[in-house]
Amino acid sequence: MKNIFIIIFALIVMSACEDFEDPIAGIPETDLFVQFGANTPDTVAAGEGGTSQTVTIQSPISFQEDLIATITFTGSAEFGVDFDISADSITSGNSGTKVYPIVSKDANGASILVPYIPAGGNDLITDQVDFDIDFLSDGITDGDKVLEVALTGATGTTTSSLTLAGGRGPIRNDTYINIADSDCPANPSEMEGAYTTTESCGGDFTFTSNMINASGNQITIDNFGGWGAAGTNQLVLTINPADNSITFDDTEINGAASGFGVPAEEPWLARGSGKVNLTCTDAPEVDITFSYVRQSDDQVRVGDCTHNYSPE
């Protein structure tokens, strides 16, 4: 009878074991590795200024101490220009205090704390941390970029001899990200037309302006200031296609009808610079910051003025 109970018990144990899939079946085995989580895709399609990509670093086996994982950055994407990384605070398993998990980061890669989290229930993976890859908008038309983030391994924080490989053998240790350029060069020939102009200059005003005479990388604002007639007070904008910045020469503006008390015989100059705000799918808006300068003595008469031009 005793032998029968032993056989039945063995069958129950074997059946229970079959309920749990071996997490590293078919993979070259090592007990000492960290990996990217299953929620971290091998390839990512992203865009400048778009949604961040969350990456998870896991230790399938807990070593009952915090780990420091190492990742590297390679590719054409530039750290601090095209991307950055960030994370929320976590609780250190070593100290029990809140800590920021990104220990260090630079153009070559980062060191990230993976906290020891005591296992509960049937947890198979206990120790893990999330961080975000943030995609930055650089305002420059510089084409798509590629970023490879590789998990190279980890070390213990209290056991100096504890060294872990990066990835489950050949998998779970790389993610490849294509970052699409969201900046498009402004095309003056496509910018002609009427614009609602919002002015802040000694008060707030709204009027309609027209952009005309596009040629090459230039376009003209007709009736700059909104107080003259069509064909007067024209300001020629030069647009740099690399970053859509705007420059313009000091331009004589007849302000006699402006309400600023400018004598007709003493015109002002408009002096400043600007920017075309444009994505690859939206119509361009133009922002200009400028001052009115008295031509006779080069003194600023009205400063810190802005115009926003929105297509009608």
- Do residues 270 and 224 make contact, with C-beta atoms less than 8 angstroms apart? yes
Distance CA 226, CA 253 (A): 11
Give the CATH fold of the 188-311 domain.
Answer: Lipocalin (2.40.128)
Q: In this predicted structure, what is the pLDDT of residue 22?
A: 42
Q: In this predicted structure, what is the pLDDT of residue 8?
A: 41
Which pair of structure tokens corresponds to residue 165? 């490989």
Contacts with 131 (C-beta within 8 Å, 6 or more apart), sequence order = 54, 55, 57, 85, 86, 87, 101, 102, 112
Residue 188 has pLDDT above 70, yes or no: yes
Residue 74 has pLDDT above 90, yes or no: yes
pLDDT category at 267 given cuts 50, 70, 90 is confident
Q: In this predicted structure, what is the pLDDT of residue 111?
A: 98
* C-alpha distance from residue 53 to each of 49, 175, 176 (Å): 12, 11, 11
Q: What's the whole-number mean pLDDT along residues 52-64?
A: 93
The single-letter code of the amino acid at 230 is A
The single-letter code of the amino acid at 172 is R
Q: In this predicted structure, what is the pLDDT of residue 6?
A: 42
Distance CA 61, CA 124 (A): 8
Q: What's the whole-number mean pLDDT along residues 74-98?
A: 95
Of 58-67, 163-172, 221-230, 236-245, give the lowest mean pLDDT range.
221-230
Q: In this predicted structure, what is the pLDDT of residue 44?
A: 96
Give start-end residues of each CATH 2.60.40.2030 domain in the chain: 27-180
pLDDT category at 261 given cuts 50, 70, 90 is low
pLDDT category at 175 given cuts 50, 70, 90 is very high
Q: What integer best gives the mean pLDDT of the chain?
A: 85
Give pLDDT tens digits for 200-257: 987 888 999 999 999 999 999 998 888 777 888 899 999 998 888 999 999 988 765 5
Q: In this predicted structure, what is the pLDDT of residue 9?
A: 43
What 3-state class would DSSP assign to 14? Answer: helix
Q: What DSSP element (H or E) covers 212?
A: strand 204-215
Q: What is the DSSP letter of 312?
A: -
Give pLDDT tens digits for 14-43: 444 444 344 434 444 456 899 999 999 999
Nearest to 297 by CA among 266, 252, 256, 271: 266
What 3-state class would DSSP assign to 31? Answer: coil
Distance CA 26, CA 20 (A): 15
Torsion angle in degrees (nearest 10) through CA of 42, 47, 50, 53: 10
CATH superfamily of 27-180: CalX-beta domain (2.60.40.2030)
Residue 262 has pLDDT above 70, yes or no: no
- Do residues 116 and 93 make contact, with C-beta atoms less than 8 angstroms apart? yes
* C-alpha distance from residue 271 to each of 57, 246, 268, 298, 304 (Å): 53, 12, 9, 11, 11
Q: In this predicted structure, what is the pLDDT of residue 252?
A: 86
Give start-end residues of each CATH 2.40.128 domain in the chain: 188-311
Q: In this predicted structure, what is the pLDDT of residue 123?
A: 55
Nearest to 289 by CA among 277, 274, 308, 267: 274
Q: In this predicted structure, what is the pLDDT of residue 263?
A: 66
Q: How many CB atoms lie within 10 A of CB 269?
A: 18
Of 36-50, 92-106, 291-305, give the lowest mean pLDDT range.
291-305
